[in-house]
Amino acid sequence: MIPPFVLHIDIDAFFAAVEVMLRPGLKGKPVIVGGMPEERGVVCTASYEARKYGVHSGMALRTAAQKCPSGVFLRGRYHIYSQISKRFFDCLNRLAPGVEGVSVDEAYIDLRGMQYFYASVYEMAEKIKIVVEKEIGLRVSAGVGFSKLGAKLATEMAKPGGLFFIEDEKTFLSNLSLAKIPGIGPHTLLILQGLGIGRVKELKKTYPSLWKKLIGPHLYSSTRFPRKTHGEAKSFSRETTFPEDISDREMIMSHLSYLVDRLSLYLIEHHLFTGRIEIKVRFGDFSTFTRRAALGFSTHGYHNMWKVSLFLLNELLKKKKLPLRLVGAKVEQISKQRDILPFVCLKSERLSHGVRDIRERFGFSSIFIGRELVLERVYPVEREGIVLKTASLTK
């Protein structure tokens, strides 16, 4: 089962929180940003203390002053907010490859492809939240779901300052009040309520086509993220047929590791990056299977590539009983430019660059990945690498 993969993140009471951060004396006070109490205009942001009095954004300043006479009214310093907003987005873009801004203090993040580098999406979401809070010095709320709508609603549940996951989004959404769905205006809502329809599931049952029109765009299948793609569509692959069919998993892993190692080195030497990996296996009975996965970002670090490769290999080995005849790896979505790399993956790249430097001076075989060492017992080793039975092919 795939885990939820859309993270929504939102700074709590943004403008008010910035003012409190810059003037600690305001801490714990009802802060209302937007203008002076006697001015025309509306509240931009109310701190949580002010919200207790019933003040909310969009409310006329005069009404806010009536509701909360003790409120600290501020005009707002928008140049400062925009600087912090920039830091917020810089931080998110550094942490994740697919970030879509919604407003100055709010974004959706695509977690797909990143799950290979964390124990779970939960850990990943938590980590992103913590790093962002540390970076901008403000509290954020976050939600994880299977769609942007689900994630955004999860954030609503998480406020203030929490992290909320929607495990069963289908049930959650179908029980949801239509008033919560963005894009359904007060007028439509009134008509539907007049017809006795208040919840998403009632709409689906009574007017399926209207449900499709109103809810459809928010659903999982329509969740798209902007992707940075560059370069021409090319791929490189390395594969090898074993001298004898292999039943030993460790041995199969060693072969695949070596192929991925060679691909990583090739990409580094040519200043290229890959965004997707495909693994191929051929069993003893010649049945052949492939499986691919997006890396979620462009990289050429061995460990980044290996983690996904190993995951795919394990999935493929579930297909049939060993022995295996052939294993192969292919890198796709080749690009010349470096994506912004999630910070957890940077170490892998640095390590691979170090290994490349050593191999440049002393030959490929001067340094091996540990899991490749068993290959020395089976194949001749030359300065420029292990001599596999079928030389690696490049497409």
Q: Which residues pair with 238 in a beta bridge?
A: 329
Catalytic residue, from 38, 49, 100, 106: name it: 106
* 46 vs 263 by CB, closer to Mg ion: 46
* 105 vs 349 by CB, closer to Mg ion: 105
Q: Which residues pair with 8 in a beta bridge?
A: 108, 143
* Tokens encoding 374: 């068993």
For residue 70, what are the contacts with CB-CB under 8 A and spacing of at least 6? 29, 30
Total residues at interface with Mg ion (CB under 5 A):
4
Query: Does residue 83 sit in helix, strand or coil?
Result: helix
Catalytic residue at 106? Answer: yes
- Minimum Å gap between C-beta 70 and Mg ion is 23
Binding mask 44-83 for Mg ion (x = CB under 5 A): ----------------------------------------
Question: Which residue bears the tokens 């954020």?
Answer: 140
User: Contact region for Mg ion (CB under 5 A) — 9-17, 116-124, 155-163, 346-354?
Assistant: 9-17
Amino acid at 198: G
**Counting contacts by CB under 5 A, is residue 339 touching Mg ion?**
no
- Minimum Å gap between C-beta 43 and Mg ion is 13
* C-alpha closest to that of 393 among 258, 244, 259: 259
- Minimum Å gap between C-beta 132 and Mg ion is 13
User: Contact region for Mg ion (CB under 5 A) — 103-111, 182-190, 291-299, 344-352?
Assistant: 103-111
Cα distances (angstroms) measured from residue 298 to each of 13, 36, 342 = 35, 49, 10
CB count, 10 Å around CB of 176? 18
* 139 vs 280 by CB, closer to Mg ion: 139
- Minimum Å gap between C-beta 259 and Mg ion is 47
- Minimum Å gap between C-beta 289 and Mg ion is 46
- Sole binder of Mg ion in the list 19, 105, 339, 372 (CB under 5 A): 105
Tell me how many degrees the CA angle 274-276-277 measures, rounded to the nearest 5: 105
**Counting contacts by CB under 5 A, is residue 10 touching Mg ion?**
yes
Residue 97 carries which DSSP code? Answer: S
Q: Is residue 295 within 8 Å of residue 334, measured between CB atoms?
A: no
* 88 vs 283 by CB, closer to Mg ion: 88
In degrees to the nearest 10, what's the CA dihedral of 155, 159, 160, 165? -60
**Counting contacts by CB under 5 A, is residue 133 touching Mg ion?**
no
Binding site for Mg ion (CB under 5 A): 10-11, 14, 105
Could you give the residue numbers annotated as active site? 106
